[in-house]
């Protein structure tokens, strides 16, 4: 399994144009593509932290550029039978939904509609090229994980039970969601109708549960089934718009929020542990420790995982930005750099959080 972790810095919104930009991309060597994100130390503005990624996309990056660079290359692997998983991780307001779903205009379309469009195009080409001896079927599931419970977004809200859908471990070690609906999907139009309807389902819920969408993980699963005679090849592409990674405890101490925060923090923590373990090539991936990583069998299949860290460049996000950079950048390559005297400390030791602690690694405090 391979993993790529990339950062995307969003532009300033119209109402933010007079604000300070404190997050900036950089390259490891002059002339090379950006792989580094820099942000000042909130405790000492003369000092800057650097975080390394596999790629860093600045505010001018279009939806098309991001898709072409980070997702499109994996379509081939998906058709070869590998699973592809794409996460958007970050604080609420940093562009996760923009990156995954995007706007309605063609140029503003996000990763998800572009992925589907690519899958349909490839599927049709394959059927043409094999003169129909290979058939390609696409089915969709769309669900959210809220407070560690699974809810089907393709079903109307009234059908939700308080406990959500149960999970079941299959003989092959995979975890499945019992009773999750699957819809066949013929083309992009089909998909869009279903997707908009399902998202409205989520929006309806949002009016009942304050800011619900930032507190749940939304997972779209695209199952691809290629059949040639007796041979059936199945693979899945999963696109995940994660719950906001901000520390909810700081802003709201209601009991309901605390329960939500604990569930969000735990699952994001396990996710980051899995990503770390996969990128280190570890044998043991702690995917069983949260529902989301279990359902995705993260690290258990041969496949590709792309984590996109969304960042807002503003000072008002500074602490949350630092903590999400700490969680998602490749730990081994984190450097702390003094601007003034060029001292570079490599290999910042990882601190193990206390059980149940919120964020994976505390912001660096020199
Ligand atoms: P999140 O899902 O992480 O809470 P959103 O995707 O809703 O964040 O983004 C917050 C706001 O920023 C939205 O108004 C969105 O349209 C805008 N935005 C985010 N990323 C970009 C971008 N790359 N280009 C233009 N606008 C963006
Ligand atoms: Mg969102």
Which two tokens mark 37? 């994100």
The pLDDT assigned to 211 comes to 60
Question: Which of 6, 12, 95 for a ligand 1 pocket mutation test, highest count of atoms within 8 Å of Cβ?
Answer: 95
The pLDDT assigned to 204 comes to 57
Q: For ligand 1, atom 19, which residue shows the shortest CA distance?
A: 95
Q: CA-to-CA distance for 276 and 293, rounded, in angstroms?
A: 13
Ligand 1, atom nearest to 61 Cα:
23
Ligand 1, atom nearest to 91 Cα:
3
The pLDDT assigned to 334 comes to 37
Question: Which of 10, 23, 243 for a ligand 1 pocket mutation test, highest count of atoms within 8 Å of Cβ?
Answer: 10
* H-only helix segments in the chain: 63-70, 75-79, 96-100, 111-129, 188-208, 248-251, 255-280, 291-295, 318-328
- Residues with pLDDT less than 50, the chain: 209-210, 331-366
pLDDT per position as a tens digit, 299-330: 877 789 999 999 999 999 999 999 889 887 65
Burial letters for 15-24: b for 16+ Cβ neighbours within 10 Å, e otherwise? Answer: eeeeeeebbb
| Residue 204 CB partners (closer than 8 Å, separation 6+) | 157
The pLDDT assigned to 258 comes to 74
C-beta neighbour count of 305 within 10 angstroms? 25
Q: Residue 293 carries which DSSP code?
A: H
Backbone angles phi, psi at 303, to 5 degrees: 180, -165
The pLDDT assigned to 208 comes to 52
The pLDDT assigned to 345 comes to 37
Ligand 1, atom nearest to 101 Cα:
6
Nearest ligand for residue 90 CA: 1
The pLDDT assigned to 7 comes to 96
Ligand 2 centroid, distance to 251 Cα (angstroms): 18
Q: What ipTM was assigned to the predicted interfaces of this complex? A: 0.99
42 three-state secondary structure: coil
Ligand 2 centroid, distance to 97 Cα (angstroms): 4
Ligand 1, atom nearest to 59 Cα:
23
Q: What is the pTM of this model?
A: 0.88
**Residues within 6 Å of ligand 1 by CB:** 10-11, 13, 90, 92-98, 214, 310
Cα–Cα distances (Å) from 254 to 249, 251, 257, 268, 325, in that order, read 9, 10, 5, 21, 27
- 216-228 vs 183-184, strand pairing mode: unpaired
Question: Which of 98, 99, 214 for a ligand 1 pocket mutation test, highest count of atoms within 8 Å of Cβ?
Answer: 98
């Amino acid at each position: 399994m391979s993993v790529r972790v990339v950062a995307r810095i969003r532009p300033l919104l119209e109402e933010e144009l007079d604000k300070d930009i404190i997050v900036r991309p950089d390259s490891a060597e002059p002339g090379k593509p950006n792989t580094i994100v820099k942000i000042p130390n909130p405790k000492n503005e003369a000092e800057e932290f650097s975080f390394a990624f596999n790629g860093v996309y600045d505010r001018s990056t279009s939806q098309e550029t991001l898709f072409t660079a980070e997702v499109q290359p994996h379509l081939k692997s998906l058709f070869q039978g590998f699973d592809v998983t794409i996460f958007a991780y970050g604080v609420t307001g940093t562009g996760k939904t923009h990156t995954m779903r995007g706007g309605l205009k063609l140029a503003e379309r996000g990763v998800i509609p572009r992925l589907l469009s690519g899958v349909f195009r490839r599927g049709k080409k394959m059927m043409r090229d094999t003169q129909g001896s290979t058939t390609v079927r696409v089915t969709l599931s769309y669900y959210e994980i809220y407070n560690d419970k699974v809810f089907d977004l393709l079903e109307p809200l009234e059908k939700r039970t308080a406990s959500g859908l149960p999970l079941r471990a299959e003989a092959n070690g995979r975890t499945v969601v019992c009773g999750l609906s699957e819809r066949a999907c013929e083309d992009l139009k089909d998909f869009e109708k279903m997707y908009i309807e399902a998202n409205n389902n989520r929006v309806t819920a949002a009016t009942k549960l304050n800011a619900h969408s930032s507190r749940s993980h939304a997972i779209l699963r695209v199952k691809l089934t290629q059949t040639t005679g007796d041979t059936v090849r199945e693979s899945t592409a999963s696109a995940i718009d994660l719950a906001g990674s901000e520390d909810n405890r700081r802003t709201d101490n209601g009991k309901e929020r605390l329960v939500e925060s604990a569930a969000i923090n735990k699952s994001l923590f396990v996710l980051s542990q899995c990503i770390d373990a996969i990128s280190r090539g570890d044998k043991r991936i702690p995917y069983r420790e949260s529902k989301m990583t279990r359902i995705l069998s993260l690290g258990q299949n041969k496949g590709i995982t792309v984590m996109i860290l969304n960042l807002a460049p503003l000072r008002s996000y500074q602490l949350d930005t630092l903590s999400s950079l700490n969680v998602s950048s490749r730990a081994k390559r984190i450097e702390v750099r003094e601007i003034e005297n060029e001292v570079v400390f490599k290999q910042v030791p990882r601190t193990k959080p206390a059980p149940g602690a919120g964020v994976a690694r505390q912001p660096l405090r020199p």
